[in-house]
Structure 1
Amino acid sequence: MEAEESTQDIIIVGAGISGLATALGLHRLGIRSIVLESSENLRATGFAISLYFNAWKAMEALGISENVRSLGDRFQGWVVTPISSGNPPKEMFFPESEEYEVRCVQRKSLLEALAGELPDGTIRFSSKLVHIELFGHYKMVHLSDGTILKTKVLVGCDGVNSVVGKWLGFKNPVKSPRFAILGLTHFPTGHGLGRRFFQFFGNGIRYGFISCDKNTVYWFLTHTSTEIDKKNREKIKQFVVTKIKDLPDNIKSIAETADLDSLVMSRLKYRPPWELLWANIAKDNVCVAGDALHPMTPDIGQGGSSAMEDGVILARCLGEAMKAKNPKGETEDEEESYKRIEDGLKKYVRDRKWRSIDLIATSYTVGFIQQSGWKWLTLFRDKFLSSFLSWLLMKKSHFNCGSLSH
């Protein structure tokens, strides 16, 4: 077993979007943190991410918005179409205002943009958390290689199966009856599909695609079939092609020409929103953020954007707690420091609890309506709800997390 290392002020578990955003926010405030990542490098799972108004506000606070803007084209609007009802498509064109700035970037590129602003040595790869131990006002973080780290603050940004979340008492996320198939398709000479988010629904599926740039398209299909071998990519691809066979040829070609290596199928998971009413989002000097806090179905595209909100707000709350000065200029004892950190995390919980509940509930409801096979709901959706649901998606993005300091 390696010798115990020196005490860290803040340890963040997970180098995903929320973990890196939190670390970068703290860095901008002059506070050092260590990010523990179990993988050997930055994780690229998830393929691409849609960035909405709330994400841009978070990135402005973190100082990376202009860099990330160069990674993806700005969308012009939505097109939402029932697959087989005969109803015309519903279109929504975005105004040029900042509230409607939406871009799609590849997830790895976003992570690299965040990580590239951090000091060398901030991210420690191949560092898997296996156990958390109490040590007075500190936490002892045990890693799989035998390393033991001591920290004043522990932040869990370690995804839906968060070890930190389990320590706080969170249950495992609930498995949705739906599955998602994700893929990237590259068109060497350009796809010519424009800069709008296309979505098709009905017959128990939801299929959509979005342009990352003129050559790359990110696409998805959600469904409820349990008969597909998720390890057989050829069968996954054939399933998608069969489900979208009635769509125009140029749209079908996105799935038909997708590289098999890019295909991934997984069951959708979410945290029941009522669990957050009584859950310990933070306890003592430990908290969770991102998917460790609010895993949700992807139906309003807010997983990544809300994770960046978490990062900015958490960094601000911790910054205020750790940089506050003793008004009398006296040396602060350990108890006072611990109490300030605890109060800072309580403030973070107040800021994030209801926002998280709202996003999880809205996402689940939108997905249920869009993919429902119930005849009466299908008719109502196709005639009246499509435009409302698209508007609702944008409304939930109109959230400003603020700057890193008040």
Structure 2
Amino acid sequence: MSSAVEAEAEVVIVGAGIAGLATALAMRRTGVRGGVLVLERHDELRATGAALTIFPSGWFALRALGAHKLMSGYDAYETFQVTNLENGATQVFRFAGRENSGEIKARPADRKALLEALAEELPPGTIRFSSKLVSIDSETTAEEEGSPETSVLRLDDGTVIRAKVVIGCDGVHSVVARWLGLSEPVTCGRSAVRGLAVYPDGHGMKRELRQFLSAGLRASKVPISETEVYWFLVNNTVAAAEEEAGADPAKILREVTNNLGRHMPAEYLDVVRHSDHNSVSWAPLLYRSPWSILTGPAGRGSATVARDAFHPMTADLAQGGCSALEDAVVLARALSRAATPAEGVAAYVSERRGRAAWLVAGAYLSGWVQQGGTDAQGLRGYFVKLFRDLIFYRFIFPKLADTLWYDCGDLVPPQSKEKGKNHLE
């Protein structure tokens, strides 16, 4: 019987999604030239979700990471149209940008292209595929009292890795978050179907974000290139239908076109029917309560979490990918400036708690109100819709949109030893 393989690393990042790859790149930008290892449980980069909208907050972070070259490949959105299918009213919002905003605007992006662009900036061998984390523990290796703990990670193939810093970017069901003691994410009572429609000869659609509202439904279509259109449909969770469809793309699409979305405009249903089956998914929208984010144990010594492992949120403000990029910049900067990894983790958690809790709360409120209240019936449902149509879009939505212009700041290279050497260099 062969013994387990053992290895050591300065920094181990669990998960090669947007948060994991961006964090690895941020570490290199701040001077960690070696010893950064990214563990990915799948055998290749995954592109779950097909596409995303990157708002200014995300572009500011990409600029800090030196990966904003992606911007030139996607046109900016100019308008955002919301049509209420119950009364036929359409409201138009403009992504006008701010004074001196330059190229920093809302733009669509292909999720896989973003992952590949981040991965290309990393040295070969940084990502270790087919590496599933099954447990994590800590140990004190030095004899001196008060010496820092080393995190011990065990993989499903028997490999044991000891690391000075561990960053969990392993999603809503994070092994690292569970080890830290964070509460489990909960469902908001809504689910989302997502897909990518492909038009080989071009779709000819105007480059704008279109959204359609109906009782308990919110649907959208977003052209991301001349041949591809990202779409989603958020519905009040229908457990039986979701269980029946499972992960079968054909069943999911039939449920959308024949049942859930049958009252949607023909232009929207045409997009759904052009979907690449490999891009289609249907899953509950999960979130961690803002209070848990503000008070929960998001850091332990030199171990912490980012993005969904830290602050999972509903997709209603389209800030999932953007917040992952923000986390990466703030975390790497905090670690590079602190005297010890534990102090860096504490500084990162302290800086991110407030904004993360606000984004989660804002996304939940935005989705709940726009869909007329999850399962809100009768007079209560009527007043929620009245609030949405007369107050929310006019006064509250613009305030929520201000959060999309958050600038997480730059990454600062570490100084020399005499000026404060980076403890991870």
1:400 paired residue number: 407
- For 1:376, give the aligned amino acid: F
1:227 paired residue number: 240
2:214 corresponds, among 202, 220, 226, to 202
Instruction: Give how far 1:241 is off.
Output: 2.0
2:80 paired residue number: 78
SS at match of 1:274: helix
Alpha-carbon separation, structure 1, partners of 2:308 and 2:51: 16
Aligned CA-pair RMSD: 1.7
Indicate if the aligned counterparts of 1:168 and 1:281 stay in contact, CA closer than 8 A. yes
Confirm whether residue 292 of structure 1 aligns to residue 324 of structure 2.
Answer: no
Indicate if the aligned counterparts of 1:180 and 1:223 stay in contact, CA closer than 8 A. yes
Deviates more, 1:227-236 or 1:57-66: 227-236
> CA 1:261–1:26 in structure 2 vs 1: closer, same or farther (change >3 Å)?
closer
> CA 1:387–1:80 in structure 2 vs 1: closer, same or farther (change >3 Å)?
farther
Instruction: Give how far 1:181 is off.
Output: 0.4
**1:223-249: CA deviation from partner (whole Å, max 9, x where unpaired):** 122231232433322332244444443
- For 1:222, give the aligned amino acid: V
SS at match of 1:404: coil
Gaps of 5+ in 2: 141-148, 414-425
Instruction: Please give the TM-score of this superposition, normalised by the length of structure 2.
Output: 0.87
Instruction: Give how far 1:3 is off.
Output: 3.5
- For 1:79, give the aligned amino acid: Q
Alpha-carbon separation, structure 2, partners of 1:348 and 1:135: 23
SS at match of 1:9: strand
**1:308-334: CA deviation from partner (whole Å, max 9, x where unpaired):** 00000101111223xx6xxxxxxxxxx
> CA 1:151–1:207 in structure 2 vs 1: closer, same or farther (change >3 Å)?
same
Indicate if the aligned counterparts of 1:230 and 1:264 stay in contact, CA closer than 8 A. no
Instruction: Please give the TM-score of this superposition, normalised by the length of structure 1.
Output: 0.91
Indicate if the aligned counterparts of 2:183 and 2:296 stay in contact, CA closer than 8 A. no
Instruction: Give how far 1:179 is off.
Output: 0.9
> CA 1:185–1:361 in structure 2 vs 1: closer, same or farther (change >3 Å)?
same
- For 1:240, give the aligned amino acid: V
2:230 corresponds, among 194, 200, 218, to 218
Deviates more, 1:102-111 or 1:305-314: 102-111
Confirm whether residue 172 of structure 1 aligns to residue 184 of structure 2.
Answer: yes
Confirm whether residue 378 of structure 1 aligns to residue 379 of structure 2.
Answer: no
Confirm whether residue 367 of structure 1 aligns to residue 343 of structure 2.
Answer: no
**1:152-186: CA deviation from partner (whole Å, max 9, x where unpaired):** 11111111000000110012210221111001101
Gaps of 5+ in 1: 325-339
1:356 paired residue number: 356
Deviates more, 1:13-22 or 1:229-238: 229-238
Alpha-carbon separation, structure 1, partners of 2:199 and 2:397: 28
Instruction: Give how far 1:389 is off.
Output: 5.2
**1:332-379: CA deviation from partner (whole Å, max 9, x where unpaired):** xxxxxxxx2111111101110001110011111111101125111112
Alpha-carbon separation, structure 2, partners of 1:238 and 1:349: 43
- For 1:227, give the aligned amino acid: A
Confirm whether residue 101 of structure 1 aligns to residue 101 of structure 2.
Answer: no
> CA 1:214–1:129 in structure 2 vs 1: closer, same or farther (change >3 Å)?
same
- For 2:5, give the aligned amino acid: A
Alpha-carbon separation, structure 1, partners of 2:412 and 2:179: 30
> CA 1:386–1:96 in structure 2 vs 1: closer, same or farther (change >3 Å)?
closer
SS at match of 1:182: strand
**1:35-84: CA deviation from partner (whole Å, max 9, x where unpaired):** 11111011111111110111111001100102x11342211120011112
- For 1:294, give the aligned amino acid: H
Instruction: Give how far 1:255 is off.
Output: 1.3
**1:98-156: CA deviation from partner (whole Å, max 9, x where unpaired):** 38601111111111010100011111111111111222021111111111111111111
> CA 1:155–1:254 in structure 2 vs 1: closer, same or farther (change >3 Å)?
same
Alpha-carbon separation, structure 2, partners of 1:390 and 1:197: 16
Indicate if the aligned counterparts of 1:71 and 1:109 stay in contact, CA closer than 8 A. no
Indicate if the aligned counterparts of 1:81 and 1:200 stay in contact, CA closer than 8 A. yes
Instruction: Give how far 1:96 is off.
Output: 5.2
Indicate if the aligned counterparts of 1:54 and 1:309 stay in contact, CA closer than 8 A. yes
SS at match of 1:238: helix
Confirm whether residue 118 of structure 1 aligns to residue 135 of structure 2.
Answer: no
1:241 paired residue number: 257
Instruction: Give how far 1:271 is off.
Output: 0.4
Deviates more, 1:356-365 or 1:240-249: 240-249
Q: Among all aligned residue pairs of Structure 1 and Structure 2, give the percentage whose two residues are the same amino acid.
A: 39
